[in-house]
């Protein structure tokens, strides 16, 4: 068994927090109160792209559960995370239907059968941990900017889930980096192989979505936080430049 001891957050504690903050999709979201006339074109676009990325959860799940099959703590966490990511998709798809936007089964399953095999576990840990940071901030900003009250509420619920996932990844990464004595060189190597999680899901259209979310919602905040976080884990010298590829120039490695 290769369970990595989490630096501070056990699955027991993570799950207890998850249960305490669980939101109800049927009864907690006032679907009948949606006001489509308050939704902007930007919001339609970002919600559609985000729904597609969340819809890929069964694909991410197959890759991650295989990679961490011998790690009891991590696979326990993944079961809960995957449920919540799929709930995000289910909620966004339903919300988009109220705007007469359909996410088709063909779009959802287009790339789902393609598997990614991870030999160096630092790669998926960074890839999925970093994604949580970006999505937590993006949903938080969608909630802050929108004039549509139901989207404000839904996006806040999703953002809170993503921040909770982020907390797990940060804690797990701390333990993993310590256990395997990983330094800045290994982190930079893993970042060089960085592939955006969303590109697995939506392929060539991904960079459009990524750039759009960066310009309209996240701006530089996730890069600055990420740099601080990685510096606190492995020291100075982390290079984010390679993961900025596909992002508009002003958003590259600040």
CA distance readout (Å), 194 to 122, 227, 229: 10, 15, 17
One of 164, 165, 196, 209 touching Fe ion (CB under 5 A): 165
One of 48, 87, 88, 196 touching Fe ion (CB under 5 A): 88
Q: Please report how close the Cβ of residue 81 comes to Fe ion at its closest, in angstroms.
A: 6
The site that binds Fe ion (CB under 5 A) totals a number of residues, namely 6
Contact code string over 43-82 relative to Fe ion, x by CB under 5 A:
-----------x----------------------------
Does the footprint of Fe ion cover residue 85 (CB under 5 A)?
Answer: yes
Q: Please report how close the Cβ of residue 162 comes to Fe ion at its closest, in angstroms.
A: 4
Interaction with Fe ion in 15-44: which residues (CB under 5 A)? none
Q: Which of 100, 96, 164 is nearest to 136 (CA)?
A: 164
CA distance readout (Å), 216 to 37, 51, 248: 20, 17, 12
Residues 6+ apart with CB under 8 A from 170: 129, 229
For residues 162 and 135, the answer to whether their CB atoms sit within 8 Å is yes
Interaction with Fe ion in 176-215: which residues (CB under 5 A)? none
Q: CA 213, CA 206: separation in Å to the nearest integer?
A: 11
Q: CA 248, CA 62: separation in Å to the nearest integer?
A: 31
One of 91, 162, 191, 229 touching Fe ion (CB under 5 A): 162
Applying CB under 5 A, the residues found at the interface with Fe ion are 54, 85, 88, 132, 162, 165
């Amino acid at each position: 068994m290769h369970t990595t001891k989490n630096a501070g957050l056990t699955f027991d504690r993570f799950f207890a927090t998850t249960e305490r903050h669980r939101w109800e999709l049927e009864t907690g979201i006032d679907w009948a109160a949606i006001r489509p006339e308050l939704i902007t074109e930007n919001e339609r676009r970002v919600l559609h792209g985000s729904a597609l990325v969340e819809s890929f959860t069964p694909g991410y799940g197959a890759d991650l559960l295989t990679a961490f099959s011998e790690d009891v703590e991590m696979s326990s966490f993944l079961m809960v995370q995957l449920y919540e990511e799929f709930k995000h998709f289910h909620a966004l798809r339903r919300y988009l239907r109220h705007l007469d936007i359909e996410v088709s089964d063909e779009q959802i399953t287009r790339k789902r059968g393609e598997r990614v095999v991870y030999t160096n576990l630092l790669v998926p840990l960074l890839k999925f941990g970093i994604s949580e940071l970006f999505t937590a901030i993006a949903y938080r900003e969608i909630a802050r900017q929108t004039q549509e009250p139901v989207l404000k509420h839904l996006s806040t619920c999703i953002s809170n889930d993503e921040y909770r996932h982020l907390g797990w990844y940060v804690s797990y990464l701390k333990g993993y980096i310590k256990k395997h004595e990983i330094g800045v060189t290994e982190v930079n190597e893993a970042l060089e192989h960085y592939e955006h999680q969303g590109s697995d899901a939506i392929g060539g259209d991904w960079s459009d979505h990524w750039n759009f979310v960066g310009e309209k919602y996240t701006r530089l905040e996730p890069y600055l936080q990420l740099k601080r976080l990685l510096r606190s884990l492995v020291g100075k010298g982390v290079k984010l430049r390679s993961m900025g590829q596909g992002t508009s120039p002003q958003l590259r490695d600040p």
